[in-house]
Amino acid sequence: MDRLVLGPAMAAPVRPSNDPLAAIRRRFLEMVEGYVLDVALHRREAETPAQLRPALAGIAMIAHRVSGVAATLGHEGLGETAAALDQKLTQALKSGPLNLREFDGMIVLFHSALSNTLDEAAT
């Protein structure tokens, strides 16, 4: 049986989770941790005109991945924010000229929602 070590020569049994999605939830949170950094990097890249389109496409891809899973795993707010950003960026990327200002507020909300999800999971 796995044990949680409390200190020298002290251990407590680790009880298996009754949550059948526990492993998937852990993996999702690990991905979210990476996405927090990736979104920040893409956002910074988007400030360079030559990088605007690929940077926004990167953010859209992350938002799309998150929107498809977040609500299922109990992160409804994150899922809704991700879906709205995914939809707006995907439409804009198809339609022509881009302006970072149009998306900046939603990107900040999405980044905050990702960070908040990690904070909530840590408590």
Task: Specify the pLDDT at position 13.
Answer: 52
CA distance linking residue 66 with residue 114, whole number of Å: 9
- Over residues 42-63, the mean pLDDT reads 97
Overall size of the chain counted in residues: 123
Q: 5 burial class (0-12, 13-18, 19+ CB within 10 angstroms)?
A: exposed
Q: Is residue 51 part of a domain?
A: yes
**The pLDDT of residue 66 is above 50:** yes
Residue 64 above 50 pLDDT? yes
Answer whether residue 4 is part of any domain: no
Is residue 16 in a domain? no
**CATH at residue 61:** 1.20.120
88 within a domain of the structure (yes/no): yes
Instruction: Place 30 in a pLDDT band, splitting at 50, 70 and 90.
Output: very high
Calculate the alpha carbon distances from 64 to 11, 14, 69, 83 in Å: 42, 35, 9, 7
Q: Is residue 57 part of a domain?
A: yes
| Residue 66 domain flag | yes
For residue 1, the model assigns a pLDDT of 43
Q: Domain for residue 9, yes or no?
A: no
Mean of the pLDDT values across residues 74-80? 94
Proportion of the chain above pLDDT 70, given as a percent: 86
For residue 33, is it within any domain? yes
- The range of the structural domain enclosing residue 92 comes to 21-122
Mean per-residue pLDDT of the chain? 88
Domain tally, the chain: 1
Of 49 and 122, the one with more pLDDT: 49
